[in-house]
Amino acid sequence: MRLDVLSEAYLPPRLAAREDRLRALRAAEGLVAIVGPAGAGKTTLARLAFPNALWVDCGSTPSYASIRASLRGFTGGRAVVLDDFTLAQRTPQLWEHVLRLSRSGRVVLVAHPSIRGELRGAQLVEMPPYSAEELYQILEDRALQGNLPVTDKVLRFIAEKVGYPKGSGSARLALRALRYALQTAQGPVSLRHAELAFSLLEL
């Protein structure tokens, strides 16, 4: 059993139910924005599309000076990904720098819909919340990849609980619920363990 397949750091071989977005992102040029709510797979999509990108985590380096320092030496030969761009201090100087970089290469902004109005000029790749069926595909993939002792019934229960519009549609939340259920069960997972996981998540 491999619980690492349920962690946020794990990069799956494919992003279930988002293959069309992956193709669109790889084909995009210049300034591109991946837009969607938390847990919609934005960062994973960027990691799969551009595994060799110059990566900047704007959540930990939000100022213009720190972001510019992280981008020093960029020559346009590979993509730049500004993850958690919503958390960056989006000053006019930062926007000017981003636009200048996008004229010589691909710049990808990973952003929440709350700043959609600021993304004029960017090609948008929309990442809506996951439906229950889409979450089921993701959970099933991870269960197979990690050889997890969980039944189809439990996977569907979690997917139905979290899937949009009944739930938030967050893959991150669904994967966390499955991890909690496995840790609670210490073996094969039942519906009772899944229900307990959601109580721990206060859902």
The answer on 172 and 152 residing in a single domain is: yes
11 in a domain, yes or no? Answer: no
* Per-residue model confidence (pLDDT) at position 92: 96
Q: What is the mean pLDDT of residues 23-48?
A: 97
Extract long-range pairs of 21-24: CB within 8 Å, 24+ residues apart. 21/45, 21/125, 21/126, 21/127, 22/48, 22/49, 24/125
pLDDT of residue 89: 97
Whether residue 34 is predicted with pLDDT greater than 90 in this model: the reply is yes
Q: Domain holding 177: CATH number?
A: 1.10.8.60
Q: What is the pLDDT of residues 129-149, one digit of tens each?
A: 999 999 999 999 999 999 999
At residue 106, what is the residue type? R
The count of domains in the chain is 2
**Rounded-to-integer distance, Cα 159 and Cα 178, Å:** 10
119 is in which domain, residue-wise? 19-126
> Which residue, 81, 108, 126, sits at the end of a domain?
126
Judge whether 5 lies within some domain: no
What is the average pLDDT across 90-102? 95
Same domain for 43 and 27, yes or no, is yes
State which of 103, 126, 149 marks the end of a domain: 126
Last residue within a domain, chosen from 88, 111, 126:
126
- Indicate the pLDDT class of residue 77, thresholds 50, 70 and 90: confident
On whether residue 7 sits in a domain, the answer given is no
> Which phi and psi (to 5°) does residue 170 adopt?
-90, 120
Same domain, 161 and 149: yes
- Asked if 95 and 183 sit in the same domain, the reply is no
pLDDT at 159: 98
Taking residues 161-174, report their average pLDDT.
Answer: 97
User: Residue 160 — very low, low, confident or very high, per pLDDT cuts 50/70/90?
Assistant: very high
**Mode of pairing for the β-strands spanning 107-111 and 54-57:** unpaired
CATH number of 68's domain: 3.40.50.300
**pLDDT reported for residue 203:** 64
The pTM for the full model equals 0.94
Do both 100 and 152 map to the same domain? no
The whole-angstrom distance between residue 189's C-alpha and the CA centroid of its chain comes to 26
